[in-house]
Amino acid sequence: MRVLIYGGSFNPPHIGHIHAVRQAVEQLRPERAFLIPAAMPPHKRLAAGSPAPEDRLAMTRLAAAEAPDCEALDIELARTGPSYTSDTLRQIRARYPRAEIVFLVGTDMLLTLESWHEPAEILSLASLAVFARERDSGAEIEAGAARLREQYGATVYVLTGEPEEVSSTRVRELLPERQGRELLPEAVYGYIIQKRLYGARPDFDWLREKAYAYLKPSRVPHVRGTETEARTLAARWGVDPADAAEAAIVHDITKNRTYEEQLCLCEKYGIILDDCQRESEKLLHAITGCCFAREHFGIPEDIFQAVRWHTTGRPGMTDLERVVYLADYIEPGRSGFSGLAELRKTAYEDLDAAMELALRMSLAEVRGKGRQPHKDSVGAQRYYARRLKEKGVPPVPWAAE
């Protein structure tokens, strides 16, 4: 029996790790293969801001699922002190006393292994498997392998094939810039975004794909239009267009849920509805949608609030909240209702006046249908009417009044 082990900080596990273990499995044909994240790597410290051990383990498990017959082990995370390879190999040997244990290493690790903790013990417990990269000197690798064979009686396999050159450091640098998705297994990337590890912000193409999957095709054009409008409106008012776009992409994510499904989501997220909300199905998707988007995509608090208030509004909204509220109202696909032209023009001239007009129009629509408007909308309209009065600016008239 042959057991392959591959250790590292896996911070995060990327496609280079998966390529390496796949190639090793293909060439060595082990019965078992394990990825083992280190708790305290002896040769380097974990980068500042690294995820908790349980998150690195969860990501490693997701990555391991990408390789055949591979799984993640938590044996180093469960130990205290430095994560010495010799200790790990002793634990693996205890599990598989008759197996050949093969320790997968890179070229640099092969050439420096004698400086590790208990190198003789490592080589007595396990064979080595090393990738020879095109840029590496074959003579240097063979000389290093020969030295280990001669001095320690080591077994060293030199694997063929070019590794995927990916740096975990570079991945961590890219993630806050909405980049680096292609360097990670899909499930690992999704986990990172869900938890917002490494300060990650989602790639927009990925976020659209995931968010649109929850919508009916007929709603997608509206969401696209809201994103476009939100970016433009945000730039006009000094709001981060990327934050506005992210909020717009997810703002209707639970819109297509039935009333019963909305109530189930309220129960799941501990949302307590007032009588008006319970009687108006239209209000629920903003309340459940922000929680749903936070659960699945880890949206931060400012985007959470922009989604939460995009239907009713509220007094004292942030600029991001106002941008998303108005973009939803005036996106290019909207048509056919009185006051739209005035509102579109005003949205780029005076945010307070635009909010007051939009809320006044919304209240008139609700009352025109014989329904009682929500108190948050009423309060928001009065708030912005006061703001205009304080500035000495008259409310914008519209034809239906």
- Look at the alpha carbons of 51, 53, 55, 59 in this order and tell me if their dihedral is positive or negative: positive
Q: Shortest CA distance to 171 belongs to which of 209, 130, 203?
A: 203
Q: Tell me whether residue 400 is in a domain.
A: no
Per-residue model confidence (pLDDT) at position 137? 61
Do 43 and 159 reside in the same domain of the chain? yes
Who contacts 68 (Cβ-Cβ below 8 Å, separation ≥6)? 22, 25, 33
CA distance 56 to 60: 6
Is the separation of the CB atoms in 302 and 243 below 8 Å? yes
C-beta atoms surrounding 173 within 10 Å? 14
Q: In this structure, what CATH number is given to the domain that contains residue 276?
A: 1.10.3210.10
If you search the block for the tokens 């995509």, which residue do you land on?
Answer: 297
Kindly state whether residue 192 falls inside one of the protein's structural domains.
Answer: no
Question: What percent of the chain has pLDDT above 70?
Answer: 97
Angle between helical axes of 241-250 and 301-308 (0-180°, round to 10):
50
Q: What is the pLDDT at residue 134? A: 56
Domain count of the fold of the chain: 2
Q: What distance in Å separates the CA atoms of residue 295 and residue 195, rounded to the nearest whole number?
A: 9
**Is residue 163 domain-shared with residue 266, that is, in the same domain?**
no
Q: Do 292 and 175 sit in the same domain of this protein?
A: no
| 397 assigned to some structural domain | no
The reply to whether 7 and 133 lie within a common domain is yes
Mean pLDDT for the chain overall: 92
Query: Are residue 279 and residue 251 in the same domain, yes or no?
Result: yes
Look up the pTM and report it. 0.92
Least confident of 32-41, 42-51, 199-208: 42-51
In a domain, 196, yes or no: no
Higher pLDDT pick, 107 / 292: 292
CA proximity to 244, closest of 196, 305, 289? 305
Q: What percent of the chain has pLDDT over 90?
A: 72
Q: Say yes or no: 318 and 289 in one domain.
A: yes
- Give pLDDT tens digits for 330-356: 999 988 778 899 999 999 999 999 999
In a domain, 387, yes or no: yes
Host domain of residue 147? 2-183
Note whether 41 and 162 are same-domain residues.
Answer: yes
- Specify if 110 maps to a domain: yes
Grade residue 108 by pLDDT with cuts at 50, 70 and 90: confident
State whether 135 and 282 are in the same domain. no
Residues 289-327: tens digit of each pLDDT: 999 999 999 999 999 999 999 999 999 999 999 999 999
Beta bridge pairs of residue 130: 105, 158
* 75 lies in the same domain as 176: yes
Interatomic CA distance for residues 183 and 206, integer angstroms: 14
Cα(326)–Cα(1) distance, rounded to whole angstroms? 65
Q: Please, which residues have CB within 8 angstroms of residue 345's CB and are 6 or more apart in sequence? A: none
80 domain residue, yes or no: yes
Same domain, 103 and 140: yes
Rounded CA-CA distance 278/136 in Å is 67
Is 365 a domain residue?
yes
What backbone phi and psi angles, to 5 degrees, belong to 364?
-65, -40
Does the pLDDT value for residue 259 go beyond 90?
Answer: yes
**What's 30's domain CATH number?**
3.40.50.620
Are both 216 and 351 inside the same structural domain?
Answer: yes
149 shares its domain with 244: no
